[in-house]
Amino acid sequence: MAYTSQIQWKRIAAEAAAIVVSILLAFAIQAWWDDRNEVKLEQRLLAALLVEFEQNDQLLRQAREEYELRYLAALGILELMDGDPAEIDEAEFRRLVRSMITRQTFHLESGAHDGLLASGELSLIRDEELRNRLAAWPSYVAEWSEEQGFVFSFVAEAMIPHLAGRVRLRNVRRAFPPFPDGTAPPQISFGSSEAASLAVLSTSVEFDNLVYRRAQGLWHAMRDGETLRAHLSSIIELIRQNLDE
C-alpha cells in the first residue's frame, strides 16, 4: 500500500494527457497540411483546365464558321438549281460546288482533362456540379465527333464518286494548297467542255439530293457544335467560380 501511495498519478495523468494532445495536434496539423496541398493542387488543375477549355471554345467557334460557310454554299447551289439552267453563272456554280465539298474536321484539346481523369484526381474537384460535368464531357465530345465524321466522310463516299462519274474533277477542285513555306505548286489547267460538264450537274436530280443531304449534315454539325459549346460554357463558368474562391 505504501508503494502504491507513492505513485504520482497526477503527474502521470498530466504527461499522458500531454502525449495524447500532442498526437492529436500532430494529426490535425497533418490533416490541415494535406487539405492545404489538395486545395493548391485543385487550383492548379482548374487553371490548366480553364486554359484548355477556353482554347476549345475558340475551336468550336471556328468549326461553326467553317460549317456555316459550307452550308451556305449548299443552299446557294440549291437556289441556282431551282432556276433556269441556261442562265446559271458557270463560275459561280463552280465556286459554290468547290466550297461545298471542301472538308475540314476539328479536334478539341484534351490533354489536361484526360490527365485529370486518368490520374484519379477528379475527386479533388470540390464542386460537385463541376465534377459531374467534367466526367460527362467526353460523352458530349463523342457525339459531336460522330457528327463531324459523317459530315467529313459523306463528301468522299457519296459526293466525290457522283461528281467523278459526271464532270471533270479538276474543273471543280483545281487549286492545291501552298507548301509550308508559302509557295504554291503549279496550277492544274481546266479540262475541255467545262461549261457542258457543269451543266450536267445543274439539272441532275441525284446531285440536287446529294447537295440537300450535305446541307442537312452540315446543319446537324452546327447544331451539335452549339450544344457542345453550351456545355463547355457552363464548365468554364464553374471553373472560374471555383478559381475565384
pLDDT digits (tens, 9 = 90+) for 9-41: 666 666 666 565 565 554 455 544 445 567 888
What cell numbers appear for 96 in the block?
Answer: 459554290
pLDDT digits (tens, 9 = 90+) for 146-162: 989 999 999 999 999 99
Q: Per the confidence metrics, is the pTM higher than 0.85?
A: no
Parse the chain into domains and list their residue ranges.
45-243
pLDDT band at 226 (very low <50, low <70, confident <90, very high): very high
